[in-house]
Amino acid sequence: MILYTIPVISQLETVMRHVLDFFHTNLGLPWAWAIVATTVVVRMILVPLTIKQIHSMQNLQKFAPQMKEIQKKYKQDRQKQNEELMKFYRENNINPAASCLPMLLQLPVFIALYYSLRHFKFTGDVTFLHFIPSIADHTTSHWGGYVLLFVYVASQMASSFFMMTTTDKTQRVLFMVMPLFFVFVIARFPAGLVLYWVTTNLWTVGQGLITRRLVSRTPAPVVERRSSRTPPKDDGSSGNGAQPESPPPKPAPSASQRPRQVRRKKKRTSRR
């Protein structure tokens, strides 16, 4: 409740109430479907930022070997390492914060909806698909809430699978397992808030399916394996820009150095 004392939070709650009331009163949607409609509108507004998020994650994968080399080179000096990484980001137009921006912008909507469900006195139909008796009650107060939690975990794993395609394998496993632990926190929230989260995840899954068809995947960087006997390649760009000199032609062997040619005698065929 300490967070609610901040004036911005109460103002966000007022805006959320007006939005939900618009979908319920003017469009005739039940309160649960008004939450779904609000979620869809928010995600439609965030589509341009989501596209930037996808491109940012692809750039991070594309330049991952170079960034690892910088981290390895300056691993003893963290300040120098951060300076070189920032310089590398500017030179290659990489914005690491772009991948987190859509999630951060959804946080005010999440907080406003949370307090609206706690304080707003809903009148009329507050059920959802006849298995959630009230979207304002705790999720685990009815058996239908457990079904909603199961859908949340499945949709969260699916959305992580589609949105984390360019991340490291370990990070992908972490994001896939995280909903199993986070579900214990979600269970204490109102059912309408879990409904908002499920709708967001389903939107992300659909968006990921469309993105895979429209946006080409960034090819994995090819690392050239070189042995200790493999000479370094010189393309003429090193040094002062001079072209590599071709080796001098070998002199023709002298007459004494030429191999002797042995003539074979022809066999005489006997005539009968």
At 133, is the secondary structure helix, strand, or coil? coil
Predicted model pTM: 0.70
HSE-CB of 253 using CA atoms within 13 angstroms: 6
User: What is the C-alpha separation between 93 and 95, in angstroms, rounded?
Assistant: 7
Q: How far apart are the first and last CA of the chain?
A: 124
pLDDT in tens, 3-13: 556 778 888 88
pLDDT in tens, 84-120: 888 888 888 777 776 677 788 888 999 999 989 988 8
Going by C-alpha positions, the residue among 106, 112, 104, 107 that lies closest to residue 9 is 112
Q: H/E/C letters for each residue in 157-219?
A: HHHHHHHCCCCCHHHHHHHHHHHHHHHHHHCCCEHHHHHHHHHHHHHHHHHHHHHHHHCCCCC
Average pLDDT over residues 21-43: 94
